[in-house]
Amino acid sequence: SRYQIHHHSSSLVEDELDPFSLVADELSLIGNKLREMVVAEVPKLASAAEYFFKMGVEGKRFRPTVLLLMSTALNLPITNAPPPFELGGTTTTDLRSRQQRIAEITEMIHVASLLHDDVLDDADTRRGIGSLNFVMGNKLAVLAGDFLLSRACVTLASLKNTEVVSLLAKVVEHLVTGETMQMTTTSDQRCSMEYYMEKTYYKTASLISNSCKAIAILAGQTAEVAMFAFEYGKNLGLAFQLIDDVLDFTGTSASLGKGSLSDIRHGIITAPILFAMEEFPQLREIVEEGFENPDNVNIALEYL
Ligand code: GRG
């Protein structure tokens, strides 16, 4: 809901370039496929696994959107003609459907990481509803995340491309690495922009960059083009997390689908604080004292 689709925009140009509406039909196919992919035999596991794939709580689908657009860009032969901004082109349906599988796998890995993240953070809200751990307990939330990862792996293996398998398998390690870096920091690390950017690559950008690269590999593009796709996804992912971190300070519960100020209250130092610290070195003392004391949250906010 933070990136609303404006179906009734008055400007034709805006409509044509709205990335979400360009792939809206295909995104709904992916939504259906995801619901099929998460069907489990054991009823309790089934209801846990399908929790965030139901209509209305499917999130922004940012990653699948980017990946479908990446497919459109990379499956077309390079000509001097302007990009048609249309799906299909010379793309074979077989290639396109293999790339749709990447979009589904990526979204499934993403949701699995959200389920585990909410357990680690003891979060009570996600996407505007009770988090799965809050509604069904930590144990089922962990198991549902594991289940989604397994289903993602099976689909990944079915693509029979070992390079793509290792790229996305590595991403899971990166998610774990980023999360571990976030929860085990020295005071110097917490105040370092370099550490923040490295953590952000692992936590957020790696999934987007490596899945973009996977799209390029399936398209049969050269290693150089695959690297450009990776770089594009990496920068987009870093930008996405920077915006997410700003929104944590500026957003409302309604726009965020969870409470605001959750990072700082958990003692997680993000870009807005790091930038403010460059301008106001005295803020570092507050950061070092920590944010268990809510007064310190308010004092830090004064500097933003
Ligand atoms: C089990 C794969 C796995 C990982 C375990 C917990 C963990 C390690 C990693 C957590 C990584 C994490 C939560 C990163 C944050 C990524 C992020 C920007 C989430 C918000 O994404 P949006 O805004 O969410 O795209 P929606 O709800 O729209 O899908």
Domain positions in the chain: 12-260, 261-304
Query: Does any ligand 1 atom lie closer than 6 A to the CB of residue 145?
Result: yes
Q: How far is residue 142's CA from residue 116's CA, in Å, rounded to a whole number?
A: 6
Per-residue pLDDT of the chain (304 residues; tens, 9 = 90+): 333 434 444 444 555 577 788 899 999 999 999 999 999 999 999 999 999 999 999 999 999 999 999 999 998 765 555 554 444 444 567 899 999 999 999 999 999 999 999 999 999 999 999 999 999 999 999 999 999 999 999 999 999 999 999 999 999 999 999 999 999 988 888 889 999 999 999 999 999 999 999 999 999 999 999 999 999 999 999 999 999 999 999 888 788 887 788 888 888 999 999 999 999 988 988 888 888 888 888 888 888 8
Regarding the domain delimited by 12-260, which CATH topology (the fold level of the hierarchy) does it fall under?
A: Farnesyl Diphosphate Synthase (1.10.600)
What is the interface pTM, i.e. ipTM, of the complex?
Answer: 0.97
Q: How far is the CA of 61 from the centre of ligand 1 (A)?
A: 12
Probe target for ligand 1 pocket from 2, 65, 113, with the most ligand atoms within 8 Å of CB: 113
| pLDDT value of residue 2 | 39
| pLDDT value of residue 285 | 87
| pLDDT value of residue 16 | 59
Which residues make Cβ contacts (< 8 Å) with residue 74, sequence separation at least 6?
Answer: 215, 216, 219, 221, 225, 229
| pLDDT value of residue 57 | 95
| pLDDT value of residue 15 | 54
Query: Does any ligand 1 atom lie closer than 6 A to the CB of residue 272?
Result: no
Q: How far is residue 296's CA from residue 291's CA, in Å, rounded to a whole number?
A: 6
Residue with token string 């357990």: 119
Count the helix, strand and coil residues of the chain and give each as a percent rounded to the nearest 5.
70, 0, 25
Query: Does any ligand 1 atom lie closer than 6 A to the CB of residue 131?
Result: no
Q: How far is the CA of 153 from the centre of ligand 1 (A)?
A: 17
Q: How far is the CA of 8 from the centre of ligand 1 (A)?
A: 31
pLDDT tens, residue by residue, 114-153: 999 999 999 999 999 999 999 999 999 999 999 999 999 9
The closest-lying atom of ligand 1 relative to the alpha carbon of residue 63 is 25
| pLDDT value of residue 288 | 86
Query: Does any ligand 1 atom lie closer than 6 A to the CB of residue 146?
Result: no
Query: Does any ligand 1 atom lie closer than 6 A to the CB of residue 248?
Result: no
The residue whose CA has the least distance to atom 29 of ligand 1 is: 59
| pLDDT value of residue 90 | 45
Q: How far is the CA of 282 from the centre of ligand 1 (A)?
A: 32
pLDDT tens, residue by residue, 30-62: 999 999 999 999 999 999 999 999 999 999 999
4 CB burial (10 A radius; 0-12, 13-18, 19+): exposed
- Going by C-alpha positions, the residue among 183, 197, 208 that lies closest to residue 266 is 183
Query: Does any ligand 1 atom lie closer than 6 A to the CB of residue 202?
Result: no
